Structure 1
């Protein structure tokens, strides 16, 4: 895709990978609209010259507010980047916070589906359009410590693959971006080797420019190779974590 001159809606652009992504897209000549739920981070992103819509996409009301805010706007690219790792682990003694888990499920899975549905008419109207769904390497093989997160990302991966088939031959290209563990607030405290968010975003943008079906970033490339040879081996490696 030729990015210059396009308008993109990028969810979760006030922090982490999204914060790097909106800046790199702007550098490519893209007009960026983004969303966030933290007032301070939203204000800081606005101060950097971005249009920011404050909305909690972990709730139906937040998704509806974002859809209403962009109604009638010309949008060429939708990037469903916002996500959370809110989870539970029954190996610990405390019972999980189910409302928090429910909000995580809505944010990671329901919100992208709602946004795609709402924006489909405007995307169809553009000469060239793109949907980017950010999943995870854990959509391929889960880890024991993140059952809810892994389940939502696996579900979004499945949805993305089916959506790509539906839109085959149309003006809308569907890209799945699969990051590894990235250096963000969400992964703070983990001992894993982490990729800088700026490099992850750079690889996303490169995949958009070449109309790739998947952006397998960092160690996810190796995971894909292992999974193609032996899905059982890939699962056995990651499930321990």
Structure 2
């Protein structure tokens, strides 16, 4: 898909991977409308020439408010990138169930609700795309982030089913599976991290190449290990 001239709605576009996706798409000639929760970051992206919308996607009301703000404008590409991470480890203090609910909604329910709302206008375009950003943890979970892993695994399953449902229609359905990327969410991680610029580049390359999956960086190796031995892949990932 040629992204030049396309209108993109990008959630979570004011920081991290999303910010780099926005910048690189703009450089390729796309019109990017991005969402975020932090007013200062949205203002900074606005100063770069992006149209921005404040949106908290951790509830149905937040998703519906975003849909209302989008109005009746055409959308060619929807990128569900916004996400929340939450610690959830019952070996420590009792996890916060409300935080778990917010994570599950933002990472799984919000993309489903947004796709459902915007699918008619995507279908009205000559060519469209839906991009759901999951994680390598959707393939094999780690231990400490069980709720985050579950939400991303759920979105992976939904994306595969959606792709099958839309087979034969001019809508590309892409799942992007990043590894550990150097963002605010991973600031406390001491492991090697991929620069967000490179992660964004590989995701956009998948869109431009009409590829259904963007297995980014080390996720390619994880996929290869999983294809040989799912048990081994799960054992490796549980160490992180």
If the TM-score is normalised by the length of the shorter chain, which range does it land in?
over 0.9
Partner of 1:91: 91
- Aligned to 2:43, the other structure's residue is in SS state helix
For structure 2, list consecutive stretches of 5 or more residues without a partner in the other structure.
Answer: none
- Aligned to 1:182, the other structure's residue is in SS state coil
Alpha-carbon separation, structure 2, partners of 1:19 and 1:132: 15
Alpha-carbon separation, structure 2, partners of 1:21 and 1:146: 25
Partner of 2:230: 231
- Aligned to 1:5, the other structure's residue is in SS state coil
1:163 aligns with 2:162: yes
Partner of 1:101: 100
Alignment of 1:1-241 (within 5 A): 1-92=1-92, 94-241=93-240
Alpha-carbon separation, structure 2, partners of 1:225 and 1:108: 25
Q: CA deviation at 1:96?
A: 1.3
Q: CA deviation at 1:215?
A: 0.2
TM-score (norm 2): 0.98
Q: Which runs of 4+ in 1 moved over 2 A?
A: none
Query: What does the per-residue CA deviation read over 1:95-143, in whole Å, with 9 as the maximum and x for residues that have no partner?
Result: 1121111111100000000110000000000000000000000000000
- Aligned to 2:42, the other structure's residue is in SS state helix
Alpha-carbon separation, structure 1, partners of 2:94 and 2:40: 31
TM-score (norm 1): 0.98
Q: CA deviation at 1:23?
A: 0.4
| Pairwise CA RMSD | 0.7
- Aligned to 2:164, the other structure's residue is in SS state helix
